[in-house]
Amino acid sequence: MASSPQICCRLTAGALLVHLFLFAAPVVALEIRKSSLTAIDGTSHEAAQSAGNPLLAMYRKYTMQYQKDAKEAYESAKHYSEETQKLADAANAKDLGVKVRQKLKDQGVSDWAYAAWTVQGMLNDPAPVKAGAAAAKAAAPYNAAYAAYDKAKVQYDSAAQGYALRAKQDAGLAHQLMSYSNQFKLQGNTEQANTYKGQSQGLMSQADKFKGLANTYSETAAKIYGVLPSIQSWAGKAGAMAAYEENPLGALPAKEIFPFTVVPPAP
């Protein structure tokens, strides 16, 4: 049997525990009541704080909307996933393949694909590019000759114009000197008259020569001008022959194919 002091200690400790429990019970009840009220009202401490802060309220509103949208998206994805799975389970690969091939045939996909393949082959065909390069190379000597002849024609024209102008000037001066000669002859100064007459005749002879040169150069320029179209024609023929050797089927260059678009066959 326990002694009296031990019994007194135990009774004292028990009394203290009872008092502590009775003191703490209202506090716990208050916390439980506060949590219950928070759960029932649907607002938290953070929500209460955000109610007093417009920025936090806006963020909370957006967050709640995002949460709602995410839930709806998840439900939609789940629904379509289930429907897809049902369709996949119900589909027969063999029958589906037959239907797909028939549908492609009805829509003319094979003709469309062949047309696209043909157009792509035309775009990748190097024959037109080679033909253009060959034509330019074959026509180059003729083009050079054309340029040289054209330059010579211009030079002859310029020389003819210069000689014609000089002949006109000399002829005018010769006529003026002849008038001086006639004046001195009327005055009885035969010696001076003969001097001017000789000079006039010399200038007239020189004018005739310049006029002849001008006519000759002008005729030469005209002959050269007449040859230019032939040289140009030869250049075209040489280029066409070289292009034909590289592109005998006449494949179109890419610049003439780009404007066209391959479209599905008409229904």
Angle, CA 113 vertex, CA 115 and CA 124 arms, to 5°: 55
- Give the pLDDT confidence of 18-76 residue by residue, as tens digits: 333 343 434 333 343 444 334 334 445 555 555 568 888 888 889 999 999 999 999 99
Q: What confidence category does residue 245 fall into, taking pLDDT thresholds of 50, 70 and 90?
A: very high
pLDDT tens, position by position, 185-197: 888 888 888 888 8
**127-185 pLDDT, tens per residue?**
999 999 999 999 999 999 999 999 999 999 999 999 899 888 988 988 998 898 888 88
What's the first-to-final CA gap in the chain, in angstroms?
Answer: 111
Q: Which residues contact 221 (CB under 8 A, 6 or more apart)?
A: 153, 154, 156, 157, 160
Cα-based torsion angle of the residue sequence 45, 49, 55, 57 in order, rounded to the nearest 10 degrees: 50
What is the reported pLDDT for 45? 52
Tokens of 107: 């829509």
Query: Quick one: CA torsion of 250, 255, 259, 261, rounded to 10 degrees?
Result: 70
Q: Is 243 exposed, middle or buried (CB count within 10 Å of its CB: 0-12, 13-18, 19+)?
A: buried
What would the mean pLDDT of 218-228 be, rounded to a whole number?
Answer: 89
Looking at per-residue pLDDT, the higher value among 235 and 50 belongs to 235
- State residue 180's pLDDT score: 87
User: Residue 255 carries which DSSP code?
Assistant: G
DSSP letter at 44 equals: -
Decide: pTM greater than 0.75.
no
88-129 residue pLDDT tens: 777 777 777 787 788 877 777 888 888 888 888 888 899 999
Per-residue pLDDT, 49 = 54
